[in-house]
Amino acid sequence: MKPILAYRFLTGGDDAAFCHKVTEALANGWSLYGGPSYAFDAVAGVMRCGQAVVKEVEVAYDPALRLGEL
């Protein structure tokens, strides 16, 4: 089976919970892909963060694949 490069975009508030989400992904073998993104959510009045991560895995691609479980 040919490995695929799985991609996830993690999002959350600009807080420790978001940092822990990214740290957990890194601890589970994901790698950062590019730099973080920040945007102001005018409706909620808070900053939002995003970070792309990738991981090479040996699975057959399926749109139903639960990327967070890889």
H or E element that contains 13:
strand 4-13
44-60 pLDDT tens trace: 999 999 999 999 999 99
DSSP state of 64: T
Residue 2's pLDDT band, with cuts at 50, 70 and 90, is: confident
pLDDT of the residue at 26 = 98
Give the tens place of pLDDT for each residue, 6-21.
999 999 999 999 999 9
Tokens 């991560």: give the residue. 53
Domain positions in the chain are 4-59
Q: Which long-range contacts (CB under 8 A, 24 or more apart) does 59-64 make?
A: 59/1, 59/4, 60/1, 61/4
- Give the per-residue pLDDT at 1: 80
Using a 10 angstrom Cβ sphere, with 0-12 exposed, 13-18 middle and 19 or more buried, the burial of residue 12 is: middle
